[in-house]
Amino acid sequence: MFDRDFAAATSPPNPLSLKGEGGPDGVSAVTNRQVVSGTKVALAKSFRRLATDAEAQAWGILRNRGVLGLKFRRQQVICGFVVDFYCAALRLALEIDGEVHDSAEAMCFDHARSDVLRAHGIRVVRVPNHNVTEAGLSAVLSLSLQGEGRSVPEGTERGEVGAGAHQRELGFTLIEIMVAVALLAMLGIILATSTSALMGSIRDTKTTQELYHSARVALSRMERELSMAYLSKHQSEKRTTKTVFLGKSNALTFVYMGHRRMVRGATESDEGVVEYKVERDSKTGDNVLVRREKTVIDDQPYKGGRKQVIAGGVKKLTFAYWDMDKESWQSDWKVEIDNVREEEERKAAAATGVAAATGNLALGKALAGMKKEETHGPTDMWLPARVRITLILQTEEGKELTFETQTRIRIMQPLDLGGIQVPAAFANTLNPYAAMPAQTPANFAVPGAQNNPMAPTGMGGPPPPGGGR
Per domain, the residue ranges of the chain are 6-161, 224-345+375-419
Quick check: 277 pLDDT over 50? yes
Beta strands in 129-283 (DSSP E): 243-247, 251-256, 272-280
Quick check: 161 pLDDT over 80? no
Quick check: 107 pLDDT over 50? yes
Q: CA 23, CA 26: separation in Å to the nearest integer?
A: 6
Give 216: exposed, middle or buried? Use CB within 10 Å, 0-12, 13-18, 19+: middle
Specify the 3-state DSSP secondary structure of 336.
Answer: strand
pLDDT tens profile 35-91:
667 787 888 788 888 888 888 888 988 888 888 888 888 888 888 788 889 998 888
Instruction: Give the mean pLDDT of 251-261.
Output: 91
Q: How far is CA 376 from the centre of its chain?
A: 48
Please tell me the predicted confidence (pLDDT) of residue 159: 38
- Other beta carbons within 10 angstroms of residue 271's beta carbon come to 18
Lowest mean pLDDT among 98-107, 148-157, 288-297, 340-349: 148-157
How many residues are given for the chain?
A: 469
Taking the C-alpha atoms of 372, 376, 381 and 382 in order, what is their torsion angle to the nearest 10 degrees?
A: 160
Percent of the chain residues past pLDDT 70, beyond the cut: 67
Q: CA 304, CA 36: separation in Å to the nearest integer?
A: 108
Q: CA 375, CA 214: separation in Å to the nearest integer?
A: 38
Quick check: 275 pLDDT over 60? yes
Q: CA 323, CA 383: separation in Å to the nearest integer?
A: 9
Quick check: 99 pLDDT over 70? yes
DSSP track, 38-86: HHHHHHHHHHHHT--HHHHHHHHHHTTTTTTT---EEEEEETTEEEEEE
Average model confidence (pLDDT) for the chain? 76
Please tell me the predicted confidence (pLDDT) of residue 265: 79
C-alpha neighbours within 13 Å on the C-beta side of residue 206: 6
Please tell me the predicted confidence (pLDDT) of residue 21: 37
Q: CA 61, CA 418: separation in Å to the nearest integer?
A: 113
Please tell me the predicted confidence (pLDDT) of residue 6: 39
Q: CA 89, CA 169: separation in Å to the nearest integer?
A: 16
- Other beta carbons within 10 angstroms of residue 241's beta carbon come to 18
The neighbouring-strand residues paired with 93 are 86, 124
The CA–CA distances, whole Å, from 388 to 100, 164, 208, 218, 250 equal: 103, 86, 23, 14, 12
Please tell me whether the overall predicted TM-score, pTM, comes out greater than 0.75 for this model: no
Going across the sheet that includes 400-408, the strands are 328-330, 314-323, 386-394, 400-408
DSSP track, 96-119: EE-GGGGSHHHHHHHHHHHHHHHH
Q: Which candidate, 112, 115, 110, places its Cα nearest to that of 127?
A: 110
DSSP track, 336-403: EESSHHHHHHHHHHHHHHHHHHH--HHHHHHHHTTTSPP--SGGGTPPPSEEEEEEEEE-TTS-EEEE
Going across the sheet that includes 92-97, the strands are 73-78, 81-87, 92-97, 123-128
Q: CA 131, CA 291: separation in Å to the nearest integer?
A: 92
With residue 448 as reference, give the H or E element that holds it.
Answer: none
The neighbouring-strand residues paired with 334 are 246
Please tell me the predicted confidence (pLDDT) of residue 463: 47
Q: CA 196, CA 314: separation in Å to the nearest integer?
A: 27
Please tell me the predicted confidence (pLDDT) of residue 10: 39
Instruction: Give the mean pLDDT of 305-327.
Output: 93
Confidence bin at 329 (pLDDT 50/70/90): very high
Task: Fill in the amino acid letter for 105.
Answer: E
- For the chain, the distance separating the N- and C-terminal CA atoms, rounded to the nearest angstrom, is 151
Q: Specify the CATH number of the domain 6-161.
A: 3.40.960.10
Please tell me the predicted confidence (pLDDT) of residue 35: 66
Q: Please check whether residue 81 is in contact with residue 117, taking contact to mean a CB–CB distance below 8 angstroms.
A: yes
Q: Please check whether residue 226 is in contact with residue 387, taking contact to mean a CB–CB distance below 8 angstroms.
A: yes
Instruction: Give the mean pLDDT of 370-375.
Output: 60
Q: Please check whether residue 75 is in contact with residue 42, taking contact to mean a CB–CB distance below 8 angstroms.
A: no
